[in-house]
Amino acid sequence: MTLSVIYILWLRQIKRYFRSKARIVGSLGQPLLFLLAFGFGFGPIFQKAGQGNYIQFLTPGIIAMSILFTAVFSGIEIIWDRQFGFLKETLVAPVSRLEIMLGRTLGGATVATLQGVIVFVLSLFVGFHIYSLIALPFAFIFMFFMALLFTALGTAIASVLKDMQGFQLIMNFLIMPIFFLSGALFPLDGLPKVIEVIVRCNPLSYGIDALRAALSGVAHFGLLNDSIFLFVGVVVLLFAGSFLFSKIEA
Amino acid sequence: MNIIEVKNLTKRFGDFVAVDNISFTVEKGEVFAFLGPNGAGKTTSIRMMTTLLAPSEGEIILNGINPQKDQAAARKSFGIVFQDPSVGEELTAYENMEFHGVLYKVPKEVRRKRIEELLKIVELWDRKNHLVKTFSGGMRRRLEIARGLLHHPKILFLDEPTLGLDPQTRNHIWSYIMNLNNVEQITIFFTTHYMGEAQDIASKVVIIDRGKIVATGTPSELMKKTSADSLEKAFLALTGATIREEEASPVDHLRMGRKMYHR
Ligand SMILES: Nc1ncnc2c1ncn2[C@@H]1O[C@H](COP(=O)(O)OP(=O)(O)OP(=O)(O)O)[C@@H](O)[C@H]1O
Ligand SMILES: [Mg+2]
């Protein structure tokens, strides 16, 4: 394990992110829209149902959403690197696949965390209030873990897909369901059994719950459960991603 | 001493046999030209030798190592300039070099010195801080070659390194490579469609056609055998004058795209 190798792979992901300003701005549009449209649109109903302030509830979910999309996308960028040929350059180098995977994944996770932090800052202007300054650092840690988990998922997907043609399928049948069936948008009490089961199998549910605990001071599963499931998810997906990535032929 | 040994190497893609039971050896320090018409199987063979593709059958020994069994050790022994594009578009020329140098663990001092030397040779030093996506096809190619020469491996694979480059650059690059070969005993394994290049610098030539080896020898031996006065004529005599039509795969389309670009 060579740190300089992991570092240079990490650095490349970071540079790539900061050099595509259009992408940064573009990927802020969606979370902002969700925050405004849902936040203010459903706010009154939410309030009437006795659930309190919806922006307060929704913001952690939207932060998680932007982390989810950015992270999966960073992982999936391997497909582009394969098509543009840059992947070969790393695959024939005398470095292990694990180093390559770790460097890239840490880079992608850093980028996704940054994106989450930007959305968090924006939400403060929309009316979101953090409940405690002391808990704030924990929010960033949970964001990073979510980012790590979903970048690894993206890597795993990219290692299996041959080109971008399968991307739409993955978006509609995996990423969208992960987002919508996670408790990002609605509270998890009193759900139909099927939905409840799916939500409980979804790692994002625990990420959002943890984030909500750190930012708004409320948790559905409890912070300990959240942390355990999130951690296990990260470990499992890092292994799965490394394994699948080690099988890539360029 | 043989630094490369290839025995009965075969690669099938479905029913199609791209490389058909080829065997050859390359001696340490040799300048070895691997020639053949389009679609002959040159790149496929190189991909198998450089751990990017698993052979269907046969055995490869690189520097005493079997690249299928011990990929990590094999990767330490060679460097490669790919036929297809392989630079990072959103990095600068310098960053691409730096990235390569770190991956190959070239010590910092040596790295700095060589990057400057090589970028000057390929005349990209003035553009070192420009993003590669703003480069012309020929400039990208020059960067890829410079990058391939940054670390000094035992074996250097060059897959059509000079494709699309002007004669001045080609001369500079070949003389730099020949110097590396002389001074550091680096074995050069290259492919090219410029027969003149092969005639001038190769100490051994293998000609492959439709996946099979059709001739082996020094350029002068091959010329003698076919009573030709140039390697180009010998090549045509050995492989026939018809143009290879092949069902182009998407990869080939990409390659064709690149070739057209360079015209
Ligand atoms: N991944 C693949 N799937 C199917 N066929 C392939 C694949 N890669 C290569 N081929 C086929 O194998 C044959 C040999 O290809 P290869 O790239 O090795 O040729 P080459 O000798 O390098 O040709 P060129 O001079 O055009 O670069 C071609 O017919 C090509 O279409
Ligand atoms: Mg080729």
CB-based contact A85 B72, cutoff 8 Å: no
DSSP letter string, chain B: -EEEEEEEEEEEETTEEEEEEEEEEEETT-EEEEE-STTSSHHHHHHHHTTSS--SEEEEEETTB-TTT-HHHHHHHEEEE-SS--S-TTSBHHHHHHHHHHHTT--HHHHHHHHHHHHHHTT-GGGTTSBGGGS-HHHHHHHHHHHHTSS--SEEEEESTTTT--HHHHHHHHHHHHHHHHHH--EEEEE-S-HHHHHHH-SEEEEEETTEEEEEE-HHHHHHHTT-SSHHHHHHHHH-SS-------HHHHHHHHHHHHH-
pLDDT in tens, B103-160: 999 999 999 999 999 999 999 999 999 999 999 999 999 999 999 999 999 999 999 9
- Chain A residues with CB-CB distance to B78 below 8 A: 92
Q: What share of chain A is helix, strand, coil (3-state, %, to 5)?
A: 80, 0, 20
Q: What value does the mean pLDDT of chain A take? A: 93
Given a cut of 80, is residue A156 above it in pLDDT?
A: yes
Least CB-CB distance to B51: which of A2, A90, A92?
A92
Distance CA A107, CA A114 (A): 11
What local confidence, expressed as pLDDT, does residue B246 receive? 55
- Which residue has its alpha carbon closest to ligand 1 atom 9? B44
Q: Which of A24, A89, A102 should be substituted to probe chain B, the one whose Cβ sees the most B Cβ atoms within 10 Å? A: A89
Given a cut of 50, is residue B229 above it in pLDDT?
A: yes
Given a cut of 70, is residue B263 above it in pLDDT?
A: no
Q: How confident is the model at residue A164 (pLDDT cuts 50, 70, 90)?
A: confident
- Alpha carbon of B136 to ligand 1 centroid (Å): 25
Domain tally, chain A:
1
CATH of domain B2-87+153-262: 3.40.50.300
Ligand 1 atom nearest the C-alpha of B208 is: 21
Q: What are the boundaries of each domain within chain B?
A: 2-87+153-262
Given a cut of 70, is residue B211 above it in pLDDT?
A: yes
- Chain A residues with CB-CB distance to B104 below 8 A: 93-94
**Domain containing A125: what range?**
2-246
| pTM for the whole structure | 0.90
CB-based contact A249 B53, cutoff 8 Å: yes
- Alpha carbon of B252 to ligand 2 centroid (Å): 9
Would you call B135 an interface residue with chain A, using a CB distance cutoff of 8 Å?
A: no
pLDDT in tens, A24-47: 888 899 999 999 999 999 999 999
What local confidence, expressed as pLDDT, does residue B252 receive? 54
pLDDT in tens, A221-236: 999 999 999 999 999 9
What local confidence, expressed as pLDDT, does residue B3 receive? 96
- Burial label for A134, CB within 10 Å (0-12, 13-18, 19+), is exposed
Given a cut of 50, is residue A9 above it in pLDDT?
A: yes
Kindly report the number of other CB atoms within 10 A of residue B8's CB atom. Answer: 12
Average pLDDT rounded to a whole number, residues A173-194 = 93
CB-based contact A84 B54, cutoff 8 Å: no
Distance CA A216, CA B240 (A): 77
pLDDT in tens, A104-118: 999 999 999 999 999
User: How many Å lie between the alpha carbon of B64 and the closest alpha carbon of chain A?
Assistant: 16
Least CB-CB distance to B104: which of A93, A249, A250?
A93
Distance CA B33, CA B219 (A): 9
What local confidence, expressed as pLDDT, does residue B261 receive? 43
- Which residue has its alpha carbon closest to ligand 1 atom 25? B38
